Amino acid sequence: MDSDDAAVEVRKLLTEAAHVFSEYVQQSQQPGAQVSGHIQGVIADAAQSESDARMFPDAGVGSRVWDDVRDVCAGAANTWSSAFLYKLYAAPAPMGIVAETLLAVLNNNAHVTRAAPSGAAIEQAVARKLAQLLGFPSSADGLTFPGGSYANLHALMTARNTRFPDVRTRGMSSVRGAVFTSAHAHYSIDKAAVAAGFGLDSVVHVPTDSVGCMDVHKLRKLMLESRARGVEPFFVNATMGTTVLGACDPIASISRVCREFGAWLHVDGSWGGPHALFGDDPACSVHNIHIDSFVVNPHKLLGVPLQCSFLIMRQGLNVMRRALGLGATYLFHDEQACGESDVPCDVGDATLGCGRRPDAIKFWLMWRYYGTQYFTRRVAQARNTSLRLAELVRTRTSLLGRWVLVTEPASTCVCFWFVPCAFNDKRSEWGDATRRMCTHINDGGSMLLDYATVDVFDGINTCTLPKFFRIPINNPSVSSATLNDVLNAIESAAAELFP
């Protein structure tokens, strides 16, 4: 295909795609639109052996592919609906879609600067701006990663190899280190410890208080006990916005403990990090706090298309290159050390992988198009909507049962029970009732909700709460009407299941 033919085909396909995609978005935002996907068309036949020729034709189907695209859309979860309250993300902002398309057009690989010059420059600029907003020193820098879990792994691996440098050559045989994290932290910290060779037995889950925040006194006590056993407490993960309750650990107090022990402090702000970057709550500020690394996922609360995650390093990227790099000279030719020049370095050597998408472009183009105020308003709106939902739960009365908040929302997750009358005196069965109501609603297809459970400390004992509804607020289209629809749907499910 010559260049003219390629340009013509790109123009033709993108024009057709714009029509199909905008049609899908418009339909998806209509009241009553299906939220859960329904597999149809040739995709529904994928499991049948006789469908192989239909799924993978020898001769292409040409323009009929748009029927397949519509089938893919029909079988997808509808994140554009305000009734998609299922996970910690929602539909992307429209400019994000344009930026995502641009990445495909460019097809650049951001492992080497010359392979993605504009992408490398933008990544460096955005990372340093985020570091500035966090109050990090001018030496700070960062990288994008395909998700917060992978970013957390890189933080742990960098901390491990910095604290135990012989690991790079001799392996883990002589290393005795412990990882400390909240009992409510994301499971990726445990997975990272496994991948880093420490094993789950080396992960210490620090108890939380009654609202889900790490107990700093217990953290210090557990770190003292670990050191007394000859196991070095070298890494502490604090969470800003836990996955379930949305709690924010007391980072300033944790930082002081980490400085006492010489431990690396990592903050997983995958969900709640935007509150520190663009929020106005002083409790979420991390200025003047010594933090070694910080993760934030713009693809969650900020509406950037999946995936876009940043890992910000206080000491810049050289600490990652020293810890993780191998200096493969056949690939990495730059002679500038990261942070020592305005020219971006070949950052692929600072990661565990090689090929990298220049995802920072998506975040930056949204920033340019909408401005900082867009992210500020989005974070504020999500927080205010969460508080509004909590107030509705707190004050709502029903002849079918009673509404009970698990805890006041610390960020943008609202957790509560609806207790049908038949279960008033049966707290041990609240969890099963929640699961059944949630499944009933999701099976209806017009709304997607989720439920969860956590262990909490009541001052004397740790207990596991019965399953409860967990509603993450992210989508800016969620209105007061949406919130009332959610509560009405739960009561209707209770009426049908527990008459």
Check pLDDT > 70 for residue 329.
Answer: yes
C-alpha 238/C-alpha 265 separation (Å) is 7
**Distance of alpha carbon 186 from the chain centroid:** 10
Check pLDDT > 70 for residue 90.
Answer: yes
Spatial strand order in the sheet of 468-472? 401-405, 413-420, 468-472, 451-452
- Angstrom distances, CA of residue 43 to CA of 263, 292, 319: 50, 46, 46
Q: Token pair of 244, please?
A: 């379930």
Question: Could you write out the three-class secondary structure of the chain?
Answer: CCHHHHHHHHHHHHHHHHHHHHHHHHHHCCCCCCCCCCCCHHHHHCCCHHHHHHHCCCCCCHHHHHHHHHHHHHCCCCCCCCCECCCCCCCCCHHHHHHHHHHHHHCCCCCCHHHCHHHHHHHHHHHHHHHHHHCCCCCCEEEEECCHHHHHHHHHHHHHHHHCCCHHHHCCCCCCEEEEEECCCCCHHHHHHHHCCCCHHHEEEECECCCCCECHHHHHHHHHHHHHCCCEEEEEEEEECCCCCCCECCHHHHHHHHHHHCCEEEEEECCCHHHHHHCCCHHHCCCCCCCCEEEECCCCCCCCCCCCEEEEECCCCHHHHHHHCCCCCCCCCCCCCCCCCCCCCCHHHHCCCCCCCCCHHHHHHHHHHHCHHHHHHHHHHHHHHHHHHHHHHHHCCECCEEEEECCCCCCCEEEEEEEEHHHCCCHHHHHHHHHHHHHHHHHHCCCECCEECCEEECCCCEEECCCEEEEECCCCCCCHHHHHHHHHHHHHHHHHHCC
Q: Token pair of 389, please?
A: 């939902």
Percentage of the chain exceeding pLDDT 70:
96
C-alpha 251/C-alpha 267 separation (Å) is 8
Predicted pLDDT at 462: 81
Predicted pLDDT at 336: 53
**CB atoms inside a 10 Å sphere around CB 159:** 25
Q: Token pair of 87, please?
A: 């996970």
Spatial strand order in the sheet of 177-182? 141-145, 309-313, 293-296, 264-269, 232-239, 177-182, 203-206
Q: Token pair of 187, please?
A: 């499971």
Contact in structure between 180 and 198 (CB atoms under 8 Å): no
Check pLDDT > 60 for residue 340.
Answer: no
C-alpha 447/C-alpha 179 separation (Å) is 39
Q: How does residue 335 score in pLDDT terms, banded at 50, 70 and 90?
A: low
Buried b (16+ CB within 10 A) or exposed e, 377-409: ebbebbbebbebbbebbeeeebebbebebbbeb
The average confidence (pLDDT) of the chain is 93
Q: How does residue 457 score in pLDDT terms, banded at 50, 70 and 90?
A: confident
Check pLDDT > 70 for residue 332.
Answer: yes
Task: Please state the length of the chain.
Answer: 499
Predicted pLDDT at 173: 87
Predicted pLDDT at 349: 87
- Amino acid letter, residue 408: E
Reported pTM: 0.95
Q: What is the pLDDT of residues 108-149, one digit of tens each?
A: 999 998 899 999 999 999 999 999 999 999 999 999 999 999
Contact in structure between 494 and 420 (CB atoms under 8 Å): yes
Predicted pLDDT at 63: 94
Q: Token pair of 6, please?
A: 């390629």
